[in-house]
Every structure is written in C-alpha cells, then in structure tokens.
Amino acid sequence: MNGAMFYLREEVKLVKGHIIFMDSEWALTAISQVQFWPAGYLAGCGNGNVNGVLSVDISDWDTCGRCGKPAKACTEEEIRQEVRDQMVRHLPVGSLDHTNVELTFSSIPQSGSPIRTRPRTVSRC
C-alpha cells in the first residue's frame, strides 16, 4: 500500500486499530502508530517535536478526489494535501491543522514502484 504519513506535534487519539474513512474519495484507511510503541519512544526520534504518527493508506488511485484529480495523477504535495483534506472532515477539529503537523511524507507509485525514502528529520529512529 502507498499513502502518506503525518508526523504530529501532539498525538491524535482516535481508536485502537485501523480507521476506515468510509466516504473518502480515495478509500483512505489510517492507523496511529504510537499505540504500538513504548512510552517515550518518539522523544529520541528526529528533532524531538513529534509526539504522534498517523499512517494513511490510499486504496483507490483511480477515482477523482476533492481536488478533481485521481491520486495517480497527483504530485507528492498534492497527495499530502488531498489526503489531509479528505481526513479532516472526520477527525477532531485541529487534529491535522498546520500548527499540529510537524512533517509529512508520502510514498507514491512511479513506474509501478513506491518511493522508499524516509524524511531526514525522523530517520534516526
């Protein structure tokens, strides 16, 4: 699966396990990674500002999103913005505000292979 990661200054506690955004245009699913890590794990990662990680999968790359384009036709920045826009309709107010998002990362298919790089600010984990 491919999608986006949102590295958050404050953890967004949603549910234990996976979240399905049933009416999202790109059939998004997500999971908060922090629930699987020991307390304090993120303190030693990256720049020390990240306290939550929301991992999002895009399951439908062919349907047009709110931006008017399918995921497969979007740039990495467009994917991050569109995924955020589709999710904020369902999350607590402020969860994905720019003030809470420290960093985003996306893996998008190019020639059938996803990009496999990690953001530099969190690569020490």
Of 94, 14, 26, 37, give the one whose Cα is nearest residue 60.
26
- pTM listed for this prediction: 0.78
Is residue 109 within 8 A of residue 61, CB to CB? The reply is: yes
If one compares 49 and 124, the residue with the highest pLDDT of the two is 49
pLDDT in tens, 33-92: 988 888 888 887 778 889 999 999 999 999 999 999 999 899 888 998 999 999 988 887
d(CA 33, CA 29): 13
DSSP per-residue codes, 43-91:
GGSTTS---EEEEEEE--SSSB-TTSSBGGGS-HHHHHHHHHHHHHTTS
